[in-house]
Amino acid sequence: SQKIEQNSEALNIQEGKTATLTCNYTNYSPAYLQWYRQDPGRGPVFLLLIRENEKEKRKERLKVTFDTTLKQSLFHITASQPADSATYLCAPAASGGSYIPTFGRGTSLIVHP
Amino acid sequence: NAGVTQTPKFQVLKTGQSMTLQCAQDMNHEYMSWYRQDPGMGLRLIHYSVGAGITDQGEVPNGYNVSRSTTEDFPLRLLSAAPSQTSVYFCASSKQQNQPQHFGDGTRLSIL
């Protein structure tokens, strides 16, 4: 069955450092992969989408990589700020059938001032 | 432009009761979906719709019904509430199913 793995332990980093979050998937080949941010008590908010033929995507301080050989996506936040503290969800979507994304459990990021 | 609006924000039900969670979007999106989010489980897809009059089951559809009579509205019905349905429910919409989704802020449902 399809499986998505994100670090269940919170990632603690100091302000100004680069945060790197990992999303690993098994048993399928996503056509694209999305990253969302979720704050406590709120719905997820879309951040970035990367397609299977793209190696890297950037948006301001955010960067996503997509390695279909390793079956892994990395999500980077450079010059992190306390306001970046949130849970980050990855959501790959398979090319076969409906293209509906499946969400990982998310990784909590805590940026300390 | 309100985006995706979910009502109510909180609800407590007794086992066996029925209720409808409302979801409305004002972005003219064709694709809408319902998820539940439980601790340690992530978001799980309940039902989805690719347009008015069309619905389909997701990963965990049992105990839930949906309908899509208009583009704007996608209500989720609990037929006979069970404690296992205690969860946070999120509605989402997008132009098409392979595009980024806009989420509502959720309905927190407790079944006693």
The model's pLDDT over B38-87, given as tens digits with 9 standing for 90+, comes to: 988 889 999 999 999 999 999 999 999 999 999 999 999 999 999 999 99
- Measure the CA–CA gap between B3 and A57, rounded to whole angstroms: 26
Q: Mean pLDDT throughout B5-23?
A: 97
Cβ atoms B104, B89 nearer than 8 A: no
- Measure the CA–CA gap between B1 and A102, rounded to whole angstroms: 27
In sequence order, what are the residues at sequence separation of 6 or more whose Cβ sits closer than 8 angstroms to the Cβ of residue B27?
B1, B3, B4, B93, B95, B102
- Measure the CA–CA gap between B55 and B49, rounded to whole angstroms: 4
Residue A4 per-residue DSSP state: E
Q: Mean pLDDT throughout A10-21?
A: 96
> What's the confidence (pLDDT) of residue A29?
83
In sequence order, what are the residues at sequence separation of 6 or more whose Cβ sits closer than 8 angstroms to the Cβ of residue A2?
A25, A26, A27, A28, A94, A102
Structure tokens, B36: 């539940």
User: B24 by DSSP, 3-state: which?
Assistant: strand
| Higher local confidence (pLDDT), B1 or B37 | B37
User: B84 by DSSP, 3-state: which?
Assistant: helix
Question: How many beta-carbon pairs below 8 A join chains A and B?
Answer: 47
- Measure the CA–CA gap between B72 and B53, rounded to whole angstroms: 12
Q: What is the pLDDT of residues A53-97, one digit of tens each?
A: 998 999 999 999 999 899 999 999 999 999 999 999 999 987 665
| Higher local confidence (pLDDT), A75 or B97 | A75
Q: Which residue has the tokens 């680069």?
A: A18
User: A47 by DSSP, 3-state: which?
Assistant: strand
> What's the confidence (pLDDT) of residue A22?
97
- Residue B41 has a CB neighbour count (10 Å cut-off) of 12
Structure tokens, B56: 């389909």
Yes or no, beta carbons of B98 and A89 under 8 Å apart: no
> What's the confidence (pLDDT) of residue A96?
62
Q: Mean pLDDT throughout B11-17?
A: 97
A62 touching B, CB under 8 A?
no
Enumerate residues 39 to 68 of chain B having a beta carbon within 8 A of any beta carbon in chain A: 40-45, 48, 58
- Measure the CA–CA gap between A88 and B52, rounded to whole angstroms: 31
Confidence of residue A101 (pLDDT cuts 50, 70, 90): confident
- Measure the CA–CA gap between B32 and B36, rounded to whole angstroms: 14
Cβ atoms A43, A86 nearer than 8 A: no
Which chain A residues have a beta carbon less than 8 Å from that of B90?
Answer: 43-44
Which chain A residues have a beta carbon less than 8 Å from that of B10?
Answer: none
